[in-house]
Amino acid sequence: MGLKEAQEHLRQKGLDGWLVYDFKGTNPVLKRVLPGPEDRMLTRRVFYWIPAEGRPTLIGSAIDAGQLKGADASLRSYTHRASLVDALQDVLREARTVAMEYAPGGALPYVSRVDGGTLDLIRGMGKTVVPSGDLYQYAYARLSDAELATHRAAAKKIDEAKDACFAHIFSTVGAGGRITEREAQQFIAKRFRDEGLVTDHDPIVAVNAHAGDPHYAPPAEGSALIRIDDWILIDLWAKLAQPGSVYADVTWTGFAGKRVPKRHLEVFEAVRDARDAGVAHLEAAHKGGRPTTGAATDHAVREHLVQKGLAGWFTHRTGHSLGHEVHSEGANLDGFETYDTRELIPGLLFTIEPGVYLPEFGVRNEIDVFIHGDGRPEVTTRAQRDVVVP
């Protein structure tokens, strides 16, 4: 995916071009769209203009000229503010509608990277600025077959690591041994290293009330002991330790006893069925031949928990884009924290992970879903049906 697809999308939408703006690393999109090494040091403002037709133009400071060599683009250098404005006016001379990384009203901050002053500058040149979120995901967030294969491989490995961790916890506490949340977390972290997986953060292992904190992290010292009849949430994500790999991300819950408490089971089943309502929504959209969005899918999941009287305890979006980063730049399943109206187009990979977070315990149930070329959704990770027990 890349320049060809970006220009294809620009022409389809009747846009004159895409103006990617970055200042000192504030726009991660630049690393994806600009050919060459990702670790180049850019200390001044950079504009990368991708026209609907023709070769891109890179506008960079003369101070950073050495870092911009080798880019597959025409290079325009500037030295002072006036020369930067002149370069922009010249490059954008024929353009009327320009895509940039911004979201009207701040509705989608994940793709809103351009500051208000820079928007004023471009609009002041008589240009109409439109959001680039759909453009970006079409050109860069869709997975190739090779990337999807790395996701599948990672999904298998993290599923096995999760199963091994539950088994290790149950055998330890069942034998009267001692194990903490932190020790269980590090059991998974070692498994990742042994299996050739990398991650941006160690997994979550949370017991009882800690499972009611969506982003709980076991502290290095003083994490909770896991005992008989404790509720356990494990959230783990990783990718293969090789270039071009894509993450897998799942969350399961278990109970270190023989009989799951009634309330825990009720909440688990409600969350599991809300997850399945999201899949059903995607399948219905596919069968009906109609597109759907991240926000609409979020609403379908959330509505199930409304019916169960639990929606007030579901305090985050339903899912996020997956790619080379665990939280990637494609559409999120979100009509709650933000409002993501981007279509869930073929090639996208994302999570569905509803949760209910009560004061005494929490449940999250997470799967990954890929949209095939014909619009068919596929659950690419093993879906939890029942609470894990010894």
pLDDT 10s per residue in the chain (390 long)?
Answer: 589 999 999 999 999 999 999 999 889 888 888 877 777 888 999 999 999 999 999 999 999 988 888 888 999 999 999 999 999 999 999 999 999 999 999 889 888 999 999 999 999 999 999 999 999 999 999 999 999 999 999 999 999 999 999 999 999 999 999 999 999 999 999 999 999 999 999 999 999 999 999 999 999 999 999 999 999 999 999 999 999 999 999 999 999 999 999 999 999 999 999 999 999 999 999 999 999 999 999 999 999 999 999 999 999 999 999 999 999 989 999 999 999 999 999 999 999 999 999 999 999 999 999 999 999 999 999 999 999 999
Dihedral angle, C-alpha 94, 97, 102, 106, nearest 10 °: 150
pLDDT tens profile 169-223? 999 999 999 999 999 999 999 999 999 999 999 999 999 999 999 999 999 999 9
Cα angle 151, 152, 158; round to 5: 85
Given CATH 3.40.50.720, say whether it is the number of domain 3-140.
no
Q: State the Cα–Cα distance between residues 90 and 81, nearest whole angstrom.
A: 14
Straight-line distance from the first to the last Cα atom of the chain, in angstroms, rounded to the nearest whole number = 45
Grouping H, G, I as helix, E, B as strand and the rest as coil, residue 317 is coil
pLDDT tens profile 89-109? 999 999 999 999 999 998 898
Check if 3-140 and 142-379 are the same fold.
no
This prediction's pTM:
0.94
Domain extents in the chain: 3-140, 142-379
The percent of residues above 90 in pLDDT, for the chain, comes to 91
Architecture field, domain 142-379 = Alpha-Beta Complex (3.90)
The dihedral region occupied by 375, where left means phi > 0, alpha psi between -120 and 50, and beta the remainder, is left
